[in-house]
């Protein structure tokens, strides 16, 4: 019988849970491995939830051995740029050591395919846009550096142990499941669009704009947003490419168009009809000015 079981680390989180839905729609049997530090048990609607910690190598080996998945989709990570500057060891441990443990467990059981959640933060401030996959990697914060280190480790894992991987470097994930089965629910919430929508809904008093003297058209940072369901579909395609023998590779996932923070605020005011308040704060030193991707 063909093995259709996949292990999804971080499958109770935002992008992981949307991907579980797409995997299930495409006939895969999903096992989620998540410590629920940021995710939600109620987001695991399309598979089995195994509560576990990336840093617990014995448990990871046990779960990989129990289900013997054909592949691992590895979302679980710490993923806040600002926090990574304040707590770099947490980011290197959770992201780099956590991924080493996933790879070690895969090697131990003989699983040799991995789809990895990388990020456009591996590029740092771009020297040209749109950013292509061959753009130099000069990350400017510990979060981006942790993901860039993992990509290096993945190349070594292929060379030494034949573990094939596809790293998907997403730009900014946005939106929610069109059927409203799941959505974005982070605590604390730091992402721009949910904070803007909370302000328009009068749950928050104002939106802080972090910095207005970046070298962009209006001085605010520029980001390229991609819908979370498009990201989810790309993961299924990456899994199928690995199954078809595609070599270790990396791909950007963005729309190719960047919008400034002021663009996003103007559009949210127009769509909601609420001219909500904004205030300026100092820009975050680890924040890249422009992210405009390549779809
Ligand atoms: N959201 C974005 O815009 C974006 C953009 C680029 C890359 N990414 C990457 O995509 C992945 C998913 O991002 P997200 O926005 O869905 O984040 P998220 O925080 O919603 O999901 C991460 C999940 O991993 C789990 N987790 C974290 N550390 C763990 C550990 N040590 N052991 C077990 N489970 C653990 C959390 O509980 C959570 O459910 C991350 O790797 C992130 O770096 C996200
Ligand atoms: O209240 C806010 C929140 C954010 N921002 C700015 O808005 C932009 C987008 O911020 P945010 O939504 O927090 O996303 P990023 O910092 O770009 O990081 C996200 O997108 C990255 C890819 O670009 C991923 O790797 C990260 O995991 C994910 O958190 C940045 O310039 C922030 O400085 C504000 O001005 N005010």
100 pocket-lining for ligand 1 (C-beta < 6 Å): no
Ligand closest in space to the Cα of 59 = 1
In DSSP notation, the chain reads ----EEEEETTTSHHHHHHHHHHHHTT-EEEEEE--SSS-GGG--SEEEEE--TT-HHHHHHHHHHH--SEEEE--S---HHHHHH-HHHHIIIIIIHHHHHHHHHHHHT--EEEEEEEGGGS-S-SSSSPPTTS-----SHHHHHHHHHHHHHHHHHHHH--EEEEEEE-EEE---TTSSS----SS---HHHHHHHHHTTSSSEEEEE-S-SSSSSSS-EE-EEEHHHHHHHHHHHHHHHHTTPPSEEEEES-S--EEHHHHHHHHHHHH----EEEEEPPPTT--SB-----
Residue of 92, 143, 214, 259 marked active site:
143
Q: Quote ipTM for the complex.
A: 0.98
Q: Please indicate whether residue 143 is annotated as part of the active site.
A: yes
How does residue 292 score in pLDDT terms, banded at 50, 70 and 90?
A: low
pLDDT tens-digit map of 70-108? 999 999 999 999 999 999 999 999 999 999 999 999 999
**33 CA to centre of ligand 2 in angstroms:** 26
What is the pLDDT confidence band of residue 282, given thresholds at 50, 70 and 90? confident
Closest residue by CA, ligand 1 atom 31: 54
What's the predicted TM-score (pTM) here? 0.97
Is ligand 2 within 6 A of the CB of residue 34?
no
Q: Which mutation among 261, 279, 281, 288 tests ligand 2's pocket best, with the greatest number of atoms within 8 A of CB?
A: 261
Q: What is the pLDDT of residues 191-215, one digit of tens each?
A: 999 999 999 999 999 999 999 988 8
Residue nearest to atom 7 of ligand 2 (CA): 192
In angstroms, rounded to a whole number, what is the distance separating the alpha carbons of residues 180 and 203?
A: 20
């Amino acid at each position: 019988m063909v093995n259709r079981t996949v292990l999804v680390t971080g499958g109770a989180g935002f992008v992981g849970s949307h991907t579980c839905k797409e995997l299930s729609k495409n006939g895969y049997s999903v096992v989620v491995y998540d410590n629920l530090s940021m995710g939600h048990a109620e987001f695991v609607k399309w598979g089995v939830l195994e509560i576990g910690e990336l840093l617990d190598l014995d448990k990871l080996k046990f779960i990989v051995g129990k289900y013997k998945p054909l592949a691992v989709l590895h979302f679980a990570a710490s993923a806040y740029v600002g926090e990574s500057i304040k707590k770099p060891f947490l980011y290197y441990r959770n992201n780099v050591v956590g991924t080493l443990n996933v790879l070690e467990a895969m090697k131990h059981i003989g699983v040799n395919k991995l789809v990895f959640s990388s990020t456009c933060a591996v590029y740092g401030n771009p020297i040209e846009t749109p950013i292509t996959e061959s753009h130099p990697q000069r990350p400017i914060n510990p979060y981006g550096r942790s993901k860039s280190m993992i990509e290096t480790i993945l190349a070594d894992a292929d060379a030494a142990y034949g573990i094939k991987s596809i790293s998907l470097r997403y730009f900014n994930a946005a939106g929610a499941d069109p059927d409203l089965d799941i959505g974005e629910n982070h605590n604390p919430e730091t992402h721009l669009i949910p904070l803007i929508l909370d302000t328009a809904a009068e749950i928050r008093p104002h939106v802080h704009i972090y910095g207005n003297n970046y070298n962009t058209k209006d001085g605010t940072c520029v980001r390229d947003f991609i819908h979370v369901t498009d990201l989810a579909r790309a993961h299924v395609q990456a899994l199928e490419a690995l199954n078809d023998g595609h070599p270790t590779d990396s791909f950007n996932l963005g729309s190719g168009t960047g919008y400034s923070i002021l663009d996003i605020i103007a559009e949210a005011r127009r769509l909601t009809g609420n001219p909500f308040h904004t205030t300026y704060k100092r820009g975050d030193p680890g924040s890249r000015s422009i992210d405009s991707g390549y779809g």
